[in-house]
Structure 1
Amino acid sequence: MRKQSTALKTGIAAFFSTVLATSSLADDPSLPTRVPPGVKIVLADDANNAASLLRLSGEYDKLAADVSFANFTSGPLRLEAIRAGAAQVGAVGDVPPILAHFSGADVVIVGVVVTEGPTTIIATAPDSGIKELKDLKGKKVGINPGTAQQAIVFRNLRATGLTPEDIVPINLGLAEFADALRAGQIDAAVLKQPDRARYLKSVPGTGATEIASAGDGNKNLKILYASKTALADPSQAAAIRDLVVHWYRAHLWKNDNAETWAKQYLIKDQRLSEEDAKSVIDAETGKTYIPGWKTEIIPRQQDTINLLQAAGNFKGKELKAEDEFDHRFDGLNNESKSAAELHPDG
């Protein structure tokens, strides 16, 4: 009887050991991991950013699928590319997934990183009189609806006790912000680097300045989201999973390779001057990291949803942030095994 009990315990231990090993190896078992030959994925990119990150880090050559890139200047345009079937994956900020959720676009988040530092903050127009966030009251502020920049403005207003009703919103394209500031058409707008450094350099001695964000003013999320249609195809779902793992590895590579990133991407690819490239690198004062979804990102997204809906955006629907995610991808990180590592036989 004791021998049977010992054998039973040994068998149970072996069974759970196998289950745990398989679970660790394959993560969520409902997420396919084998990428057949010939699978193609198009990623809707922003200024060659994701493409360069993957290539410079060496992760692009390790991708299991044939991944190509198409550039679009804003998150809403990348969403339209996915809607039209011209791309399966998009690289965006935190607001486009909410827009996709609200509009029923069947696009869900599959990867998230956070980059610490004042990468995207408010800049002011010449002679605007704005010295700090509370001075935004009654001012004309550039807004591009459906973008992370819109949420940054609203979070900073909230932090200083103001509301969107306390400003005069001027709807413009992101590329129009700097020129509108110079012309005095708006008093303030959110600019990312190197646009902010270039703009401020062009208006010296005019009182134009940059205003530091409040504590949670800029969340600096970088998100990959994907078409549900693509994710319903096992081959493409496996290719997207593999892409997310390599995308994570590429982001963490950048933490220790800022000089290479500056020279090869910012200067060579984006044609920035060394001075402008330095302003971009200096804005990323902290590390990029892979956050927990349940503990950090889903609560952040819900807060952004609530903030935007309180301001009159995305009316008529109750939006739950957890619905914006494909939870099979939760837990993936840079140490997760890629398709090639899981299936070395092909």
Structure 2
Amino acid sequence: MPVPIRPPRAAALAVLLLAALTACAPPGARASGAPKLAPDAPLPTTVPEGTKLIVGDPATKVALQLSGEIDDFSFAIEWANLSGGPQTSEAFRADALDVGAVAEIPAIHATWTGLPVKIVASRFRKDPLNHPTYELGVAPGVHVKTLADLRGKKIAYSPGQAQGALVLKVLKHAGLTKDDVTLVELPSTGDVYPNALASKQVDVAPIGGVNIKRYVTKFGRDGATIIRHGLRDDPAHLYVRTSTLEDPAKAAAIREYVAAWARASRWTYEHPKEWIAGYYVKDQGLSEADGQYLVGLAGEPDVPADWSEAIARHQESIDILAKETGNPRIEAEDLYDLRYETVGADALEGGTR
């Protein structure tokens, strides 16, 4: 029997999101009152007056504030403090969000749970193997020096999120399957994974961001270690509901937002001091040292004008997940709206505004 993908978590989360977002939910009718935009129709380039997008992309909001571009949009933006696939999909279902910022897995799971979505922007990291998003944390006293050592270990696993898919990819890369390990289902938010490692609830967990540095600093004296997995784990996407793109006004506004998103990505790389002070320190409450570490970890962004390789890698992820979960295989290309393919790259060349 296929293993079902969980529907959006439930009641408590739904109530909180609805309470926070319903007040700014877009009307059911198309904002422009115009006929539906066909999926193969050219993207409109003019945003009608009165158009509004609700965007869940907190980091880009801060980048646009710091760069001074946040007031340059030709439409209104309502910012939603949301991140991650589960929250974003829940907000989509509540008709309370237009654009979400995620990695590669949420679009797959949204499709499997009956929520049609499209990716409209893609960003990666140059030299991704030397700038991984996640590394494998190893619990104190556990012997894992190579990926082959994962056999028989308890590994933290979060279905529906990038970390969960990464675990399955790592196992395949090591010549193992999920039957060769014990997958321990845990949410990947906050300090859950580092704490699970420190308490030996799990032997191995993919940890990212500042937790990579903090985990070894805090628990290294007890024998905690980290190893690299050697795989690409760098996708960053903007995605929307397919129905949102039927509104020509919102489709045009999304095009404008994608261009600004790409410029914001470049701005953060070219202005590390301002980004560290304004985002990591002031907005996220991290130390300057942590901010410097994260800037170095991320490296230079890559916004390609051709999504062919990205789609091929996305297909590999889909195939692994479909096999392991029993869900149907879907075509990665169907998750992308190719009308937006060059928008981000053109913006970096000054061709889109």
Unaligned runs of at least 5 residues, structure 2: 1-39
AA aligned opposite 2:337:
D
C-alpha separation in 2, matches of 1:337 and 1:276: 28
AA aligned opposite 2:278:
Q
AA aligned opposite 1:91:
A
* Match of residue 219 from structure 2: 203
- Aligned-pair distance for 1:231? 1.0
Instruction: State whether structure 2 residue 342 is matched by structure 1 residue 331.
Output: yes
- Aligned-pair distance for 1:119? 2.6
Q: Provide TM-score, normalisation by structure 1.
A: 0.83
**Which has the higher Rg, Structure 1 or Structure 2?**
1
Q: String of CA shifts for 1:168-222, please: whole Å, max 9, x gaps.
A: 10111112212111111011111111122222222131221111121xx233111
- Aligned-pair distance for 1:316? 4.1
Q: String of CA shifts for 1:230-251, please: whole Å, max 9, x gaps.
A: 2111111111110001101111
C-alpha separation in 2, matches of 1:282 and 1:292: 24
Is the 8 Å Cα contact of residues 263 and 347 (structure 2) preserved in structure 1?
no
- Aligned-pair distance for 1:50? 2.2
Is the 8 Å Cα contact of residues 140 and 168 (structure 1) preserved in structure 2?
yes
Instruction: State whether structure 2 residue 206 is matched by structure 1 residue 190.
Output: yes
Unaligned runs of at least 5 residues, structure 1: 1-27
C-alpha separation in 2, matches of 1:166 and 1:133: 12
Aligned residues: 307
The 1:201–1:337 alpha-carbon spacing in structure 2 relative to 1, beyond 3 Å, is closer
Show structure 1 runs of 4+ deviating over 3 A.
none
Q: Provide TM-score, normalisation by structure 2.
A: 0.82
The 1:82–1:183 alpha-carbon spacing in structure 2 relative to 1, beyond 3 Å, is same
Is the 8 Å Cα contact of residues 50 and 91 (structure 1) preserved in structure 2?
no
- Aligned-pair distance for 1:293? 4.4
- Aligned-pair distance for 1:108? 0.7
The percent identity for this pair of structures is 35
Q: Where does 1:1-346 land on structure 2 (aligned, <5 Å)?
A: 30-45=42-57, 48-115=58-125, 116=128, 117-175=131-189, 176-214=192-230, 217-284=231-298, 286-311=299-324, 313=325, 315-336=326-347
Q: Which moved more, 1:35-44 or 1:286-295?
A: 286-295
C-alpha separation in 1, matches of 2:269 and 2:327: 41
Look up the SS of the partner of 2:215 in the other structure: helix
Is the 8 Å Cα contact of residues 104 and 237 (structure 2) preserved in structure 1?
yes
Look up the SS of the partner of 2:282 in the other structure: helix
Look up the SS of the partner of 2:71 in the other structure: helix
